[in-house]
Amino acid sequence: DGGITQSPKYLFRKEGQNVTLSCEQNLNHDAMYWYRQDPGQGLRLIYYSQIVNDFQKGDIAEGYSVSREKKESFPLTVTSAQKNPTAFYLCASSIGQNTGELFFGEGSRLTVL
């Protein structure tokens, strides 16, 4: 089945630690996105990538980093510089540019202890 796989589903981290969230898609989509969702809030864009080896900052990129070495993979690293990292992280993909329909993964819930 085609889709987007995020892992881990739940993650606990101590303050000061970096953590990497995985996002893999087998939809052959060019574009991939990372969003952050806080309780009762909307989705805020962290980073996005339209093509392999290229990515752009979204609205809240500070304290995060990404890479896009392969078309199917777009991992997100939450660094220790992110002041309030506890959140629900959603990865999404779309066929290409012009922002058509987004397909979301099931999300990764990060809790900083």
Partner 1 sequence: GQQVMQIPQYQHVQEGEDFTTYCNSSTTLSNIQWYKQRPGGHPVFLIQLVKSGEVKKQKRLTFQFGEAKKNSSLHITATQTTDVGTYFCAKAAGNKLTFGGGTRVLVKP
Per CB under 8 A, the list member of 1, 15, 69, 101 interacting with partner 1 is 101
Measure the CA–CA gap between 75 and 57, rounded to whole angstroms: 14
Q: One-letter amino acid identity for 52?
A: V
Say if residue 39 is preceded by a cis peptide, omega within 30 of 0: no
Cα-Cα end-to-end distance for the chain: 36
The site that binds partner 1 (CB under 8 A) totals a number of residues, namely: 26
- Per CB under 8 A, which region of 9-17, 37-45, 64-72, 77-85 contacts partner 1? 37-45
The pattern of x and - marking residues 69 through 98 that bind partner 1 according to CB under 8 A reads ---------------------x------xx
Q: Which residue in the set 13, 27, 50, 67 belongs to the binding site for partner 1 (CB under 8 A)? A: 50
Is 2 or 40 the residue whose CB approaches partner 1 more closely?
40
Closest to 92 in 3D by CA, of 57, 39, 45: 45
List strands edge to edge, sheet with 4-7.
4-7, 19-25, 76-78, 64-66
Please, what is the minimum distance in Å from the beta carbon of residue 93 to partner 1? 12
The residues that touch partner 1, with contacts defined as CB under 8 A, are 31, 33, 35, 40-45, 48, 50, 56, 58-59, 90, 97-107
